[in-house]
Amino acid sequence: MKRLTSRREALRILTVAASAGALGLSGCDSSSNSPEPTPQDGSGAIIPAEASFPQGIASGDPRSDAVVLWTRFFEAGQAGDVSLRLQVSTSENFATLLVNHDFNARAAADWCLKVRVTGLTAGTRYFYRFLRARNGDFLASATGRTRTARAITDATPVKFASLSCNDYIGRYFTTLMPLMNEDLDFVLHLGDAIYETTGDPSFQGGAAARSITFDDRAGAITLGAAGSTYQAAKSLDNYRQLHRTYRNDALMRQLYQRFPVVAIWDDHEFSDDSWKAMGTYRDGLFEELDAERRRNAEQAYFEFMPVDTELGGSQGALGVDRAQLYPNTTMYRKLRFGRDLELFLTDYRSYRPDHLIPEDAFPGAVVMDRAALTQFFAAQGIPYAAIRSQFSPYLDIDLPQYAVYKQVLQATLTQAYLNEGVDLGQAALRAQNAARGNVASTILNSLLAQYNAAVPPAQQVPLLPAALIATLDTGMAWYTLGKTSLFGSVGSRYFVVEPTFKIYAAWIHQTRGAQAQNAFGDVQLDWLANQMAASTAKWKVLTSSVSTRPLVLDLTAPALGVPAPFNQRFLLNVDQWDGFPQGRQALFARLPDATIILSGDLHATLLGSSSLPGDTGMVVEVTTPAVSSASFRTLLANTAANDPLLAPLAASLLPALDQLIAQEGELEYVQTTRPGHVLITSNAELFEANVRQYDPAVVLAPPPANAPAPQREVRMRFDGVLVETEFQPG
């Protein structure tokens, strides 16, 4: 390595390089625009010291003339900022240096350093490393390789992989191993690069060696029941520790070292099933809005992930200015790869509204009364009398003749809320709010029966007689959407009754407007539509952290023998776009023909296509399986097991889940148990996605010496007009 004799010489050399079009720099925490002189004592030797860079190195967001480079330096007892030198070359031995530059890795940023290198050549492989001066020598990180995006006129095929959902707790990232032998332009990560919980029993568990205990336990959120607790990240230290641990994994280090990464986030980078700054762990038991927690999550994410999002303030610096975080964050962006491929990277979590069904909804509350149903169906030319019997009889519990029922209902609900862990004052208030207005007769009679079973005969009250119920108006109550508990995700985020939800969502759209289902927000949606319309790329790829494919469990076939009221169609997950059907339609109405969607989150493989509104074109979607996280089938089984009504049904039906999911119209292939990744190749004629699925057992044991073979491969090819799917055996 050339020894630099002075700061002035370094500036002169860098100026020459920049004027030759070979170099430009901008970076967070820069201490100078040139190296400090090499110490005069010592040999100036490069000493491998990967242990001093425990999370390795990374590159990301490659453009035709720029890329972001990242590392973290840490040694025991380290204090204060650390000066690191970045070197970039087109040769692996660094014979010619294009960049030879010093920056400060700040203690205030957990010693992460992220630098944008500009002035690079399109479609070119570069090598990079970070050095730490020590006694005249240099401690060196591993050597990373990256590649800039191809020029907009370059028709060379582009090859990349898409990933999603790599849970560290109890699991290994073995499904990444086959990618190490590929020559990829980049890796696309669709979200859930970390999981914020340290051992949630509903989906985390397995190898004891893969566990995390927060250093800042007092700053974390404690969840679970007494004797079986776990924690979720809350403090900045919590989130940083998660990123450090996940990125210290050997396979993850190799992946980031070998390929530039393009990443978006989903919920687990902050909080499961989150929206804006709201968590959902308690299912409405108490308020979980926490903007500071959200900012902590974002700060750690931007410190550790090699994304380029202009969060540092002026001149494109890559530091993290906390004032630029939630609610001011702009994560969405676009990246062009050659003539034929452009990615539009979206943010589903930061702007989306709440789930349409509240997790704390009282099942007996009527959300669409006779007047609402009459108005809604009149627009379709259907009179109320024709649909009356399809809905739930209800009564106004505040009418004088029902005073005794109101009193019993309020007392019963107060006790029910107390049983859920609500304190007495809040329990009484919640019961008071629930025991008013229109209440479904079915739920009222159920609660009256519970009351009668708990009191002496003299205090019992008669149930509503069938003759009275027959005269009542009918409406839509929360329980007809699948909501059967006071607090819970079943019937609010999962296992929602499809026919009634479609009516309810359409009514919400009519009465509250588009914002109730606008998951991207107006600004992002306008940006997306305008940028996609202006794109000259053949393959316009929208990346969504969650799937847009309808995911319906169809239990209507008589041969299944499913008893009423479960013999109907259920939306399995309305935390994804199924929860915003009119919002999804509005999104699709603004997409160009032949849009490709790459999505994740679901821990399952979905392949499908659909027509755009007005038959203006088509959209094709690939939902990538999880790298390591518990499968979608396992998640549903665990959710159902905690619901006394669903548990017996789920035990018998979930083994056949793939066959029971309605593969109709928009959904052509479903696989809900295998982890894996998607290998994608695009050229002027074809966009091809090869889904590699692996035996679920491979993520439960340490990685083997050799990469495992896929248990099954599914290929989808799209030429812009026709979609072809090829299934390999397995």
Is 295 domain-assigned? Answer: yes
305 and 400 both lie in a single domain: no
Is 273 domain-assigned? Answer: yes
Is 82 domain-assigned? Answer: yes
Is 306 domain-assigned? Answer: yes
- What is the rounded CA–CA span in Å between residue 185 and residue 107? 33
For 321-353, write each residue's pLDDT tens digit: 899 899 999 999 999 999 999 999 999 999 999
pLDDT score, position 313:
37
Is 372 domain-assigned? Answer: yes
480 and 372 both lie in a single domain: yes
Q: Which of 249, 255, 247, 269 is nearest to 194 (CA)?
A: 269
Is 510 domain-assigned? Answer: no
345 and 372 both lie in a single domain: no
Enclosing domain of residue 45:
7-147
Is 508 domain-assigned? Answer: no
690 and 557 both lie in a single domain: yes
pLDDT score, position 410:
97
450 and 549 both lie in a single domain: no
Mean pLDDT of the chain: 92
126 and 173 both lie in a single domain: no
348 and 225 both lie in a single domain: yes
CATH number of the domain bearing residue 669: 3.60.21.70
pLDDT score, position 26:
52
127 and 80 both lie in a single domain: yes
The per-residue b/e assignment along 38-66, b for 16 or more CB within 10 angstroms, e otherwise, is beeeeeeeeeebeebbbbbbbbbbbbbbb
- Residues 230 and 201 sit within 8 Å (Cβ to Cβ): yes
CATH number of the domain bearing residue 139: 2.60.40.380
426 and 332 both lie in a single domain: no
- What is the rounded CA–CA span in Å between residue 157 and residue 683? 4
Q: Which of 679, 700, 575, 583 is nearest to 192 (CA)?
A: 575
190 and 306 both lie in a single domain: yes
Single residue among 127, 147, 167 that ends a domain in this structure? 147
**DSSP letter string, 494-560:** EEEEHHHHHHHHHHHHHHH-GGGG-SSHHHHHHHHHHHHHH---SEEEEEESS--S--EEE---GGG
Single residue among 496, 528, 555 that ends a domain in this structure? 496
Q: Which residues of the chain have pLDDT under 70?
A: 1-42, 310-318, 729-730
681 and 722 both lie in a single domain: yes
Specify the number of domains making up the chain.
Answer: 3
402 and 274 both lie in a single domain: no
Is 202 domain-assigned? Answer: yes
Question: Which residues face 47 on adjacent strands?
Answer: 139
